[in-house]
Amino acid sequence: MQVLDEASDDGYFVVVPTLAIAEAQAVIGAASDHWYHVLSVPALRILDLSAPVAIEVGRIAGPRLRNHPVQAPLIGPLMTAQVLYEAKMLSAAIGTTVPEAYGGHEVAVHSLN
């Protein structure tokens, strides 16, 4: 908050990508109202993840995923969380080659193997 306050006072902006917000939330587990307070600071600019940017982010992340994988391909926690969220919002089923990534959630999962 100090950085945001200083940016506001000095006429600067703090830029935050949406994936950074998702990663931070996964780690700190803040209440939604805490985020609304932070995200409403006038000096803050959020960079949404559009499809073209997602393609470039994937291109940058590809070598690390192939050469230094933290988890198996196609089961990254943020990606699976977005798929779960969207499936719940749309009352839709998930089609995947990695059905175990979606276990424990009340969403229909269909294996594409």
Give the Å distances, CA to CA, from 16 to 11, 31, 43, 49, 109.
17, 19, 11, 11, 33
Distinct helix (H) and strand (E) counts, the chain: 5, 4
Task: State the virtual CA torsion across 45, 85, 52, 17 in degrees, nearest 10.
Answer: 20
Domain coordinates in residue numbering, the chain: 1-70, 71-113
The string of pLDDT tens digits covering residues 70-89 is 777 778 888 899 999 999 99
Length of the chain: 113
User: Does the predicted TM-score (pTM) go above 0.85?
Assistant: no
Phi/psi of residue 38, nearest 5 degrees: -65, -45
Say yes or no to pLDDT of 109 above 80: yes
DSSP 8-state symbol, 64: H
Instruction: Give the pLDDT band of residue 94 (cuts 50, 70, 90).
Output: very high
